[in-house]
Amino acid sequence: MRFLILLASLIGLALPVRAQLPQPPEIAARQYVLVDLTSQRVLAERDADAQADPASLTKLMTAYLAFNAIRDGKLALQQEVPVSMRAWDERKGGGSLMFIDTTMRPRVEELLKGVIVQSGNDASVALAQAVGGTLDHFVDMMNRQAQAWGLKNTQFRNVTGLTEAGHHSSARDVATMAAKIIAEHPQFYALYSTRQYTYNRIRQDNRNLLLGRDASVDGMKTGYTAAAGYCLVASAQREVPSGQRRLLSVVMGTASAEARAAESQKLLNWGFSAWDALRLYDAGAAVAKVPVWKGAAKEVRLGTTEAIVVTLPKGEGGKLQTTIERTDPLVAPLTAGQRVGTLKVATASGAPVAEIPLTVLEPVALAGIFGRAWDAIRLWIK
């Protein structure tokens, strides 16, 4: 018996010990997700793919498509927009309003603030009609964009987020919408930090309570319906030793406006305190230099066009293991941006941290006929 106990102990010692991941705090929400946007790592989640009523978080997509239209020159910030009866009729729906009417011609810039700060359903309808011509066409645009992003749990039926059969999203899909705005439209993302907005002498406060509580929170969007409960997307950026780090939290189905702020704050604080961000390589830096066959150059640099940052449990940064898996042999011609490998990062115990695609940083043309012939012989021998 003693021998068996000793043997079991020795076997246990021989097995690799997996590092325990930090456990998130208890979050009083039906669904949530916390994403480190700097490293694109999900730090915590619960039922993040469950279909749910997104309420006014819908307006993230409404605004995104308007931002695209402005970027593409199809809409101008100073352009005046007529207010249709359909937009004015939103006053009957019981949701948030910018308080526009058919005698007004608000500018696109004003409607954006009405959507983002005041969460106005009337502003959302007017803006959608300005971009898509009709609401039906704009909703089709929303669904096509969701499909293009691979949002498997999202389907739109309206531009406002009012409860409607077949209108649903998920915490993960909402996080994707928010991340796209931050990454692709940083100049417009700044609107989400606006604390209050006055239109037609009616002042309304931004309902994101974290804007006044946490200086690192600089957006994004609230939502509420009876079916959805209280929802909040919150984005925070803080300075850390490796540079600036941004976290994005989505909580859906909380009990009150205060609860959605408190639960989001818990997630963000935990994400910053329990996890470290480590910059491994700067943008454009060579992760590896590898031989090239039949090329005008004998080797090529592999890396990424963006900085490589990984998120890992606090204290694990000095114990990382990195390995590179790549195409071998690497034969010219090669184009810049061509993926030819993967950088795998793991903790000292072998727990995977990240897998980063490696691409060719500079193009490599074909060598001359004699260079190609010589390398062909060498490859045959190899």
CB 358 within 8 A of CB 304: yes
Which residue type occupies 228? A
Q: What stretch of H or E contains 380?
A: helix 369-381
- Give 273-286 as a DSSP string: HHEEEEEEE-TT-E
Which residue, 252, 221, 214, 248, is CA-closest to 36? Answer: 248
Per-residue pLDDT tens for 122-156?
999 999 999 999 999 999 999 999 999 999 999 99
Query: What number of residues does the chain have?
Result: 382
pLDDT value, residue 246: 97
pLDDT value, residue 8: 38
- The whole-angstrom separation of Cα 325 and Cα 200 is 60
CATH 3.40.710.10: which residues of the chain? 31-274
Q: HSE on the CB side for 194, CA within 13 Å? A: 21
- The whole-angstrom separation of Cα 281 and Cα 101 is 54
pLDDT band with cut points at 50, 70 and 90 for residue 31? very high
Which residue, 246, 250, 229, is CA-closest to 45? Answer: 250
Is 119 a residue of the active site? yes
SS3 327: coil
Among 2.60.120.260, 2.60.410.10, 2.60.40.1230, 3.40.50.10800, what is the CATH number of 282-381?
A: 2.60.410.10
56: which DSSP letter? G
- List, in order, residues 6 or more apart from 174 with CB less than 8 Å away: 54, 57, 60, 233, 250, 252
- The whole-angstrom separation of Cα 312 and Cα 306 is 19
| Mean pLDDT within 160-166 | 97
Of 148 and 92, the one with more pLDDT: 148
SS3 99: coil
Per-residue pLDDT tens for 35-62?
999 999 999 999 999 999 999 999 999 9
pLDDT value, residue 356: 93
Mean pLDDT of the chain: 91
Query: How many other C-beta atoms lie within 10 A of the C-beta of residue 312?
Result: 24
Of 333 and 377, the one with more pLDDT: 333
327 conformational bin, left if phi > 0, alpha if psi -120 to 50, beta if neither: beta
pLDDT band with cut points at 50, 70 and 90 for residue 33? very high
pTM of the predicted structure, to 2 decimals: 0.87
Which residue type occupies 3? F
Terminal alpha carbon distance of the chain: 55
Active-site residue among 56, 169, 170, 264?
56
CATH 2.60.410.10: which residues of the chain? 282-381
pLDDT value, residue 329: 87
Q: Does residue 331 register a pLDDT over 80?
A: yes
Per-residue pLDDT tens for 71-80?
999 999 999 9
pLDDT value, residue 230: 98
Per-residue pLDDT tens for 214-258?
999 999 999 999 999 999 999 999 998 878 899 999 999 999 999
Instruction: Quote the tokens at residue 288.
Output: 């590896």
Q: Does residue 9 register a pLDDT over 70?
A: no
Asked if residue 106 has a cis previous peptide bond (ω within 30° of 0), the answer is: no
Q: Does residue 1 register a pLDDT over 80?
A: no
Taken in order 136, 152, 266, 258, is the CA torsion positive or negative? Answer: positive
Is 39 a residue of the active site? no
Q: Does residue 94 register a pLDDT over 90?
A: no
pLDDT value, residue 375: 62
Query: Into which CATH architecture does domain 31-274 fall?
Result: 3-Layer(aba) Sandwich (3.40)
Active-site residue among 96, 119, 170, 249?
119
Is 216 a residue of the active site? no
